[in-house]
């Protein structure tokens, strides 16, 4: 490979990294879990609590957390998804667009049931459009929207828990 080709490849790769950094892409570091939360377990209650807890648990594992029976407990309480029609066809009266909302509360306690992070509310919303020409696609859309809600909810919970000053401060 000639010097010119090497230089061209270097600039192309540099530009790619710059573009990825600008769009919010980050490599996983696994170093974001504070010592006070190492070994954190996750439990969910409510119609969608189990599914949301599983997604949060998976994200914690990706960051190097190994759940421990004596670790702190992240409780996701009263988790459910609601759906509301936000757009109706004037000609047919059929629903055209829906708004799905994930509701939950979460808090963190230690093994002695001492609150490490007080209860916080979670609200995540996503809309999707109905295609009357292909109702099966709408069922697939609904499944994708609910997965997206769970993913966004899990990321929001973890961001708020892991960045909370309450869990980052040393405990006496």
Q: What is the pLDDT of residues 3-45, one digit of tens each?
A: 565 666 556 565 565 555 554 444 343 447 888 899 999 999 9
Domains of the chain: 34-168 (3.30.160.150)
Residues of the chain with pLDDT under 50: 23-31, 172
Amino acid 55: pLDDT: 96
Amino acid 110: pLDDT: 92
Amino acid 24: pLDDT: 46
What pTM did the predictor assign?
Answer: 0.74
Amino acid 133: pLDDT: 61
Amino acid 143: pLDDT: 83
Amino acid 36: pLDDT: 85
The DSSP string of the chain is: --HHHHHHHHHHHHHHHHHHHHTT-----S--S-GGGTT-EEEE-STTHHHHHHHHHHHHHHTT----TTS-EEEEEEEEEEEEEEEE-TTT--EEEEEEEEEEEEEEE-TT--EEEEEEEEEEEEEEE--TT-HHHHHHHHHHHHHHHHHHHHHHHHHHHHT-HHHHSPP-
């Amino acid at each position: 490979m000639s010097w010119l080709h090497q230089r061209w490849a270097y600039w192309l790769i540099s530009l790619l990294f710059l573009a990825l950094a600008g769009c919010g892409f980050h490599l996983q570091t696994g170093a974001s879990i504070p010592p006070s939360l190492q070994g954190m377990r996750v439990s969910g209650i409510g119609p969608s609590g189990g599914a949301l807890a599983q997604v949060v648990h998976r994200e914690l594992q990706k960051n190097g957390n190994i759940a421990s029976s004596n670790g702190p407990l992240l409780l996701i309480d009263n988790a459910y998804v609601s759906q509301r029609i936000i757009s109706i066809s004037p000609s047919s009266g059929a629903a055209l667009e829906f708004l799905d909302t994930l509701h939950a509360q979460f808090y963190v306690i230690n093994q002695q049931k001492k609150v490490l992070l007080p209860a916080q509310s979670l609200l995540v919303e996503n809309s999707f459009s109905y295609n009357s020409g292909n109702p099966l696609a709408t069922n697939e859309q609904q499944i994708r929207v609910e997965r997206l809600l769970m993913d966004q909810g899990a990321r929001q919970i973890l961001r708020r828990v892991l960045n909370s000053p309450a869990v980052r401060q040393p405990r006496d």
